[in-house]
């Protein structure tokens, strides 16, 4: 198996793992934020802001994985 063939198999798997991890992380973060807002409604704006910032960081990691795949895909072709 050549390096190009190995990359062609590994790249889609890497994006899939990044998407699964991102989905699990976002689900856990939003779930915890909703529970916290339910327990302390007066702190909802601060909790929501922290949740949005955390969600942006989680999504950024997924986008980095996607960009890495695009960069390595150029080496496969």
Using an 8 Å Cβ cutoff, are 4 and 76 in contact?
yes
Looking at residue 60, its pLDDT comes to 94
Q: What is the pLDDT of residues 35-64, one digit of tens each?
A: 999 999 999 999 999 999 999 999 999 999
Provide the 8-state DSSP code for 2: -
Domain span holding position 44: 3-76
pTM for the full predicted model: 0.79
The enclosing domain of 60 has a CATH number of: 1.20.20.10
For residues 47 and 41, what is the distance between their CA atoms, to the nearest angstrom?
9
Q: How confident is the model at residue 72 (pLDDT cuts 50, 70, 90)?
A: confident
CA angle 31, 65, 15 (to 5 degrees): 80
Count: domains in the chain: 1
Q: Considering only residues 37 and 6, tell me which one the structure prediction assigns the higher pLDDT.
A: 37
Residue partners of 51: CB distance under 8 A and separation at least 6? 29, 30, 33
For residue 73, pLDDT beyond 90:
no
Looking at residue 77, its pLDDT comes to 65
């Amino acid at each position: 198996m050549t390096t190009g063939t190995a990359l062609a198999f590994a790249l889609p798997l890497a994006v899939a793992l990044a998407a699964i991890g991102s989905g699990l992380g976002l689900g856990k973060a939003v779930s915890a934020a909703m529970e916290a807002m339910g327990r302390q409604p007066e702190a909802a704006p601060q909790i929501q802001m922290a949740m949005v910032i955390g969600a942006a960081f989680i999504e950024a990691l997924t986008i980095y994985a996607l960009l890495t795949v695009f960069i390595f895909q150029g080496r496969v072709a």
